[in-house]
């Protein structure tokens, strides 16, 4: 999926399809999954097929999409499944989509950081965004492809170039950090994991991942030692999985669950069921940085309200302050990639 953006757009144009600026009715949401045959894409497709709110699940990848689609189409849920393979079929996959979820890209291997994935994955996100700008400019775009701190600005810059950018509609999916935090806190404190809520702010890599342990629900007290151990474990949890898989991939199953949970939240918002999720978006919640993850209220137009970081501890404030220069470096790298290509 690293063909030049112009080639992708031209392929779409050659297919005779035209750009539109409307989405499907909220009564029949279409979700497009880009990277559907990959390690995250396949289990994510399974979970989306089971979501009763999804009316049409459009699967896209450069190879193997028909087999994944055939497999999922045998599941007895109401979502219609369509397969779209290669650049010429990308336009149809995303046309009129309400939600577009993007896990496309290469996974991390042992010794790699998310930033090491930059060159390959940056090109993929740029090229996909170029077609989305033409085929479905009103879609809510949920980006999983790493490094999220940079790929969200990349998609935003492409949409800006096309004149269709809406900051309320572009999301970096940080739900996995929330899911992990909730699992780890519940395990440590003996809570019911399904009723444990941990906001995570900042970004989606290393020190930019900031779990707000002072805001855990139900109200939970941590010792300084517990915070000192739990915070870096949450920040490095992705590496924990990469190392455990010993070269066989990165976090795919937990990421699929997190992606499906966030996609469901976006669809619920489209249908008027406002809800709050943490997400990495264009935000003024923290001074000195253009994108930041905080709890946001989702609704029919995407981000309805940015709720900010709330009251944080002195330890958490230090983490937030330290994350800003790192995030700015990641953001600048993404912006420069688009402007230089």
Residue 227 lies in a domain: yes
| pLDDT at 22 (0 to 100) | 46
Do 154 and 222 fall within a single domain?
no
- The per-residue pLDDT for 282 is 98
For position 234, what pLDDT does the model report?
Answer: 98
Instruction: Assign residue 123 the CATH number of its domain.
Output: 3.40.50.720
270, part of any domain? yes
Instruction: Let me know whether 167 and 62 are in one domain.
Output: yes
Question: What phi and psi, each to the nearest 5 degrees, are found at residue 141?
Answer: -110, 120
pLDDT higher than 70, residue 12: no
Domain around 127? 30-173
Please check whether residues 198 and 257 belong to one and the same domain.
Answer: yes
- Check whether residue 224 and residue 282 sit in a common domain: yes
> Residues forming the annotated binding site for NAD(+)?
35-41, 61, 121, 144-146, 255
Instruction: Flag the least confident range among 108-112, 193-197, 199-203, 245-249.
Output: 108-112
d(CA 197, CA 193): 8
pLDDT of amino acid 3:
41
By DSSP bridging, strand 170-172 and strand 80-85 are unpaired
Looking at the structure, tell me whether residues 184 and 314 fall in a common domain: yes
Considering the domain architecture, whether residues 193 and 324 belong to the same structural domain is answered as yes
What's the pLDDT tens digit per position in 14-40? Answer: 443 333 334 545 789 999 999 999 999
According to the 3-state scheme, what is the secondary structure of 282-293?
Answer: ECCCCCCCCEEE
What pLDDT score was predicted for residue 58?
98
Q: What does the pLDDT read at residue 4?
A: 44
Provide the pLDDT for residue 340: 87
CATH of the domain at 231: 3.90.110.10
Indicate whether 161 and 260 sit together in one domain: no
For the chain, what is the domain count? Answer: 2
pTM for the predicted model, two decimal places: 0.92
Same domain assignment for residues 179 and 271: yes
What is the DSSP code (8-state) at residue 141? Answer: E
Task: Place 8 in a pLDDT band, splitting at 50, 70 and 90.
Answer: very low
> Where is the binding site, in residues?
35-41, 61, 108, 114, 121, 144-146, 180, 255
Average pLDDT rounded to a whole number, residues 114-137: 93
Q: Is the peptide bond before 10 cis (omega within 30 degrees of 0)?
A: no
State residue 9's pLDDT score: 44
**Mean pLDDT for the stretch of residues 317-336:** 98
Which range is least confidently modeled, 7-11, 181-185, 198-202, 267-271?
7-11
pLDDT at 107: 81
- Give mean pLDDT, residues 247-271: 96
Nearest to 248 by CA among 103, 107, 43, 118: 107
Do 292 and 169 share a structural domain? no
Q: Give the largest CA-CA distance in the chain.
A: 62
Determine the pLDDT at residue 21.
39
What proportion of the chain, given as a percentage, has pLDDT over 90?
Answer: 87
Over range 125-130, report the average pLDDT: 98
Q: Provide the annotated active-site residues.
A: 204
Is residue 162 located within the same domain as residue 189? no
56-61 vs 30-34, strand pairing mode: parallel
Q: What pLDDT is attached to residue 14? A: 42
pLDDT of residue 117: 86
Tens digits of per-residue pLDDT, 65-101?
999 999 999 999 999 999 999 999 999 999 999 999 9
In this structure, the answer to whether residues 206 and 318 fall within a common structural domain is: yes
Of 143, 173, 203, at which residue does a domain stop?
Answer: 173
Each residue's pLDDT tens digit, 37-50: 999 999 999 999 99
């Amino acid at each position: 999926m690293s063909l030049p953006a112009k080639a992708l757009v031209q392929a779409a144009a050659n297919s005779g399809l035209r750009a539109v600026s409307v989405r499907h009715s909220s009564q029949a949401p279409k979700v497009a999954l880009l990277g559907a045959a990959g390690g995250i894409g396949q289990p994510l497709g399974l979970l989306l097929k089971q979501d009763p709110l999804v009316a049409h699940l459009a699967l896209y990848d450069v190879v193997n999409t028909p087999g994944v689609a055939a497999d999922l189409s045998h599941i007895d849920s109401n979502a219609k499944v369509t397969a779209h393979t290669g650049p010429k079929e990308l336009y149809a996959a995303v046309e009129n989509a309400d939600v577009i979820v993007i896990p496309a890209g290469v996974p991390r291997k042992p010794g790699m950081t998310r930033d090491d994935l930059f060159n390959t994955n940056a090109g993929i996100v740029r090229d996909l965004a170029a077609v989305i700008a033409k085929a479905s400019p009103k879609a809510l775009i949920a980006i999983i492809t790493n490094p999220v701190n940079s790929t969200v600005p990349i998609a935003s810059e492409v949409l800006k170039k096309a004149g269709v950018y809406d900051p309320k509609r572009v999301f970096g999916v940080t739900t996995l950090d929330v899911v992990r935090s909730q699992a780890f806190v519940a395990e440590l404190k003996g809570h019911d994991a399904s009723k444990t809520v941990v906001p995570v702010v900042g970004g989606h890599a290393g020190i930019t991942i900031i779990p707000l342990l002072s805001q855990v629900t139900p109200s939970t007290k941590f010792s300084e030692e517990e915070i000192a151990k739990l915070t870096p474990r949450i920040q490095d949890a992705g590496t924990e999985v990469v190392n455990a898989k010993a070269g066989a991939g990165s976090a795919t199953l937990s990421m699929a669950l997190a992606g499906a949970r966030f996609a469901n939240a976006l669809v619920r918002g489209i249908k008027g069921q406002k809800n709050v999720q943490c997400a990495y978006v264009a935000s003024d919640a923290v001074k000195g940085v253009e994108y930041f993850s905080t709890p946001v209220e989702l609704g029919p137009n995407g981000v309805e309200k940015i709720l900010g970081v709330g009251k944080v501890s002195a330890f958490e404030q230090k983490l937030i302050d330290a994350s800003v220069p790192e995030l700015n470096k990641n953001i600048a790298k993404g912006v420069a990639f688009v402007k230089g290509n």
